[in-house]
Amino acid sequence: MHFDTLALQGQAHHFMPKHLRALMEQAQGAMNNEAAEGVPRRTFLKVAAASGFALGAFPLTAGAQGASPAGGLKPTEQPSAFVRIDADGTVTVTINRLDFGQGVQTGLPMILAEELDADWAKVRSVHGDASPAYADPAFGMHLTGGSNSIKNSYTQYRELGARTRAMLVSAAAAQWGVDASTLRTNAGFVVGPGGKKLAYGALAEAAMQQPVPEKVTLKDPKQFRIIGKPTGRLDAKAKSSGQQDYGIDVRLPGMLTAVVTRPPVFGAKVKSLDDAAAKAIAGVKAVLRVPTDRGGEGVAVIADGYWPAKQGRDALKVEWDTSNVEKADTAQLLTQYRALAQQTGTIAIPADVAPLANAPQKISAEFTFPYLAHAPMEPLNCTVKLDGDKVELWMGTQMPGLDAMAAAKVLGVQPQNVKVHTQMAGGGFGRRAIPTSDYVVEACGVAKAAHTAGITAPVRTLWSREDDIKGGYYRPMHVHRAEIGFDAQGNILAWDHVIVGQSILKGSPFEAFMVKNGVDATAVEGMKEPYNIPMRLSVHHPQVNVPVLWWRSVGSTHTAYAMETLLDEVARATKQDPVAYRLRLMGDKHPRHKAALQLAVDRSGYGKKKLAAGRAWGVAVHESFSSVVAYVVEASVSKDGTPKLHSVTAGVHCNLAVNPKSVEAQVQGGALMGLSMCLPGGAITLKDGMVEQSNFSDFAVPRITDMPQVAVHIVPSAEPPTGMGEPGLPPLAPALANAVARLTGKTPRELPFKLA
């Protein structure tokens, strides 16, 4: 998922906060009005004081957190919502993001604990909810996306920790009758004159009475003892032992499970239904017609467990009305896209392409990129509990605020009456951040229909793997066409580039500020930069009845591939080293790109180490989400044309790496996901409006035997961190393609690769 696309144009921070806050005001305005007298903002909220420094404000009303604090601190700046210190010294940090594998449930507590001077062995973390306190401090809305979690909350969580520490010190100073400036802190203790100590847990209740400082002094990075150190994840034991609960594991008293049969063509409706056999299945409680995404209609089977619900669904006899919906066909779309690519589209980047006509050397290239499913290991799910005008939701969501608003609209309740219990999610890659809130809206529609039918129990709507892959919201299909003119030295004289693909943002709340002059910013991100080249870039955004969405690293999934393989091709045509050629085109304005690329080159042995017979080097570098990742890979091609990736060396520039272990894991995971775009079976196709793939048997993902050795090296920096959830993905496929091209003499132009 992505929200920081315009940052490359210097516009993200100008437009986004204003517009995204406007989206949230509909819900938060109602919450804020409920605050009335509220709770004093200059003091910590006293919640279950007997248990210690219990500052978990989010269990209170969202309204109490939503009103403007008397002291000028925003809800996102108040420790009361983020820190709880128990009498035994355990520190529980509430994270304002969804953790779905990227490690923020450890990274954000590390940041806060650093400034708090906590004992890391006693730090724990929990998810927040849809309270205004947990909005992204930069964008003003609840979101996990755009690789912004650490980037946007770095200073926020440092200040939260520093404020909490200052209050503990003040409490100790009052108890000892000394000046606070004479005290220091260390690993969960306030240390006083003569070395005497008071544990944070012992100071908890007194610290609650201290004023919250608005201004705090943060540590010099040279003093860090937690930030920057490779740290195991707080959730590692639970996940590795099978004890971690996800949204799919929610169990409530009396809860029922629903599965939905959805139309085979997006937006189609039920023409006729025979549900007699389904109702005869033991455990089935109801069979109900319900609304589905894009104006469609489906049938929900509600039962006392997943298996009877699925059996009931399998027994349904449904005839569908597809007469009024477009039936997308990828083969036909490809023909249409190719024709559009021959025409200049809406200009995204202007440039003079007249020198193409007389260029000494030329490259004409067409690239095709398929639809891609997100296919997280945990399929979509949402549990809904209705209690009069109160609603509770349990799910792993990247945008709890918008999802709460959507639920309120479907169920006809006030937004402040919707309580979101954010659950750990087993992956998502953008699929749990949908402007339409499709799976939440559907689950609420099922719960509403069940309630109307007399069912008062909570209802969990659960998607199967097949539902998930066939259920829509894919990385858009794209066609690129490039015409490049250059001279014998590799100087680019003109570059005319056309991109054809659906707009992710058209029709969404983000269209107003991320679709500029008809150009979806997510479709063109990653083009041209960091290279000093004269490129004219234009786009076509056809409308197709296929729901599309951001897919890990968004536009960079295809723009990086086109850019980095074409540059490599120019380097080969002019007999230049691809690394030296890239460095020359970068000029003197991109030190982070150069540092990442040079680090990958140096650590890989590129140009120095002799490769095994049948292997070749491949190189690519790309910036996304303000971080730069460069890959140097070793690859081969089997006799049947299948590429084999043997090793990957990454050079990463993400400024300060809060947790190097998490950076390493994200790069390794991103590399593997990038590889998935290249291997056979890695495409979603449609025929007569229906998705042809259904599971990992026909939408293939890399297996353990496909995983190469991945060595990750980070450029040292003390600058504030940038995002790392997604940047590891984009440069992998072009690096592999460039190695393949050196072995075969031909750059793969179609993904997944077809070399045989």
Q: 123 near 113, Cβ under 8 Å? A: yes
| Rounded Cα gap, residues 236 and 213, in angstroms | 35
| Rounded Cα gap, residues 654 and 156, in angstroms | 18
Average pLDDT of the residues in 657-684: 97
Is the pLDDT higher at 64 or at 481?
Answer: 481
DSSP assignment letter at 207: H
DSSP, residue by residue, 660-716? HHHHHHHHHHHHHHHHHTTSTT--B-EETTEE---STTTS----GGGPPEEEEEE--
Q: Is residue 215 part of a domain?
A: yes
The pLDDT assigned to 236 comes to 95
At 345, is the pLDDT very low, low, confident or very high (cuts 50, 70, 90)?
A: very high
211 and 85 share one domain:
yes
Token pair 């890695």: residue: 682
- The Cβ-side half-sphere exposure at 752, using a 13 Å CA radius, reads 22
Q: 500 near 479, Cβ under 8 Å? A: yes
The pLDDT assigned to 624 comes to 98
694 burial level (CB within 10 Å; 0-12, 13-18, 19+): middle
Structural domain boundaries, residue 361: 342-372+473-744
E strands in 396-472: 418-422, 459-462
| Rounded Cα gap, residues 99 and 428, in angstroms | 10
Sign of CA dihedral 695, 400, 77, 18: positive
The pLDDT assigned to 63 comes to 31
Tens-place pLDDT, residues 140-168: 999 999 999 999 999 999 999 999 999 99
635 and 692 share one domain:
yes
Q: Is residue 751 part of a domain?
A: no
Tokens of 287: 């069979």
Q: Where are the alpha helices (DSSP H) in 436-555?
A: 438-452, 465-470, 511-514, 521-524
Q: Check whether 129 has a pLDDT greater than 70.
A: yes
Angle at CA 367, nearest 5°, toward 364 and 368? 155
Cα-to-chain-centroid distance, residue 268: 30
At 755, is the pLDDT very low, low, confident or very high (cuts 50, 70, 90)?
A: confident
Q: Where are the alpha helices (DSSP H) in 435-510?
A: 438-452, 465-470
418 and 457 share one domain:
yes
Q: Check whether 17 has a pLDDT greater than 80.
A: no
Tokens of 593: 């790109």
Per-chain mean pLDDT for the chain: 91
- The Cβ-side half-sphere exposure at 213, using a 13 Å CA radius, reads 17
168 and 209 share one domain:
yes
Q: Is residue 240 part of a domain?
A: no
Question: What Å distances lie between residue 168 and 38, 165, 172, 314, CA to CA?
Answer: 24, 5, 6, 60
Say which amino acid occupies 281.
Answer: I
Q: 411 near 362, Cβ under 8 Å? A: no
| Rounded Cα gap, residues 402 and 21, in angstroms | 11
Token pair 């809305």: residue: 141
**Whose CA is closest to 348, among 548, 503, 193, 218?**
503
Tens-place pLDDT, residues 246-286: 999 999 999 999 999 999 999 999 999 999 999 999 999 99
Q: Check whether 739 has a pLDDT greater than 60.
A: yes
At 189, is the pLDDT very low, low, confident or very high (cuts 50, 70, 90)?
A: very high
Q: Which of 462, 497, 523 is the last residue of a domain?
A: 462
Q: Which of 414, 439, 462 is the last residue of a domain?
A: 462
- Where is average pLDDT lowest: 135-144, 162-171, 405-414, 684-693? 135-144
The pLDDT assigned to 71 comes to 61
Number of domains, the chain: 3
Q: Where are the alpha helices (DSSP H) in 74-132?
A: 104-116
Q: Please give the backbone phi and psi of residue 346, each rounded to the nearest 5 degrees, phi first.
A: -70, 130
Q: Is residue 646 part of a domain?
A: yes
150 and 293 share one domain:
no
Q: Where are the alpha helices (DSSP H) in 320-398?
A: 330-341
The pLDDT assigned to 13 comes to 34
Tokens of 662: 């998490």
Q: In the chain, what are the helix, strand and coil shares in percent, each to the nearest 5?
A: 35, 25, 40
Tens-place pLDDT, residues 710-723: 999 999 999 999 99
Give the highest mean pLDDT range of 45-49, 68-72, 288-292.
288-292
Tokens of 260: 């939905």
Q: Is residue 153 part of a domain?
A: yes
Q: Is residue 617 part of a domain?
A: yes
Helix (H) or strand (E) holding 392: strand 390-395
| Rounded Cα gap, residues 18 and 204, in angstroms | 38
The percent of residues above 90 in pLDDT, for the chain, comes to 88
Burial call 649-658: b when 16+ CB within 10 Å, e when fewer: bbbbbbbbbb
Say which amino acid occupies 196.
Answer: K
445 and 592 share one domain:
no
Q: 751 near 478, Cβ under 8 Å? A: no
How many other C-beta atoms are found inside a 10 Å radius of the C-beta of residue 494? Answer: 22
| Rounded Cα gap, residues 506 and 520, in angstroms | 8
536 and 589 share one domain:
yes
pTM above 0.85, yes or no: yes
Q: Check whether 44 has a pLDDT greater than 50.
A: no
The CA-based dihedral angle spanning residues 442, 448, 452, 458, taken in that order and rounded to the nearest 10 degrees? 110
The pLDDT assigned to 208 comes to 87
| Rounded Cα gap, residues 443 and 438, in angstroms | 9
The pLDDT assigned to 33 comes to 36
526 and 639 share one domain:
yes
Q: Which of 427, 462, 497 is the last residue of a domain?
A: 462
| Beta-carbon contacts of residue 118 (< 8 Å; ≥ 6 apart) | 91, 112, 161, 187, 188, 200
Tens-place pLDDT, residues 460-504: 999 999 999 999 999 999 999 999 999 999 999 999 999 999 999
98 and 196 share one domain:
yes
Is the pLDDT higher at 345 or at 43?
Answer: 345
Q: Check whether 625 has a pLDDT greater than 60.
A: yes
The pLDDT assigned to 509 comes to 85
Q: Check whether 337 has a pLDDT greater than 60.
A: yes
305 and 365 share one domain:
no
| Beta-carbon contacts of residue 249 (< 8 Å; ≥ 6 apart) | none
Q: 128 near 112, Cβ under 8 Å? A: no
Helix (H) or strand (E) holding 338: helix 330-341
How many helices (H) and strands (E) would you count in the chain? 19, 29
Q: Is residue 241 part of a domain?
A: no
3-state secondary structure of 362: strand
Q: Is residue 84 part of a domain?
A: yes
Q: Which residues pair with 690 in a beta bridge?
A: 687
| Beta-carbon contacts of residue 242 (< 8 Å; ≥ 6 apart) | none
418 burial level (CB within 10 Å; 0-12, 13-18, 19+): buried
Token pair 């050397």: residue: 361
208 and 282 share one domain:
no
Q: Which residues pair with 286 in a beta bridge?
A: 302
User: What's the CATH number where 418 sits?
Assistant: 3.30.365.10
| Rounded Cα gap, residues 138 and 140, in angstroms | 6
458 and 482 share one domain:
no
How many other C-beta atoms are found inside a 10 Å radius of the C-beta of residue 8? Answer: 18
